[in-house]
Structure 1
Amino acid sequence: MPTDMQSEIIAELIKRLGVVESFGAEVFEDNVLRVIDAEDTSGLRDDFIVIQPGQTEEVERQTGGSVREAVTLNITAITRRRCAGALLRDARLGIKCALPGPKAGLATQGVQKADFLPETPMPAGEGRRWACHVMPIQVTYVQPLK
Structure 2
Amino acid sequence: MGTPDFIRRVRATAGHQLLFLPGVSAIVFDDEGRVLLGRRADTGNWSIIGGIPEPGEQPAVTAVREVYEETAVRCVAERVVLVQTLHPVTYPNGDQCQFMDTTIRCRAVGGEARVNDDESLDVAWFPVDALPQLEDFAVFRIKQALADEPTWFEPAEG
TM-score normalized by the length of structure 2? 0.28
Q: Tell me which structure has the larger Cα radius of gyration.
A: 1
TM-score, normalised via structure 1 length: 0.30
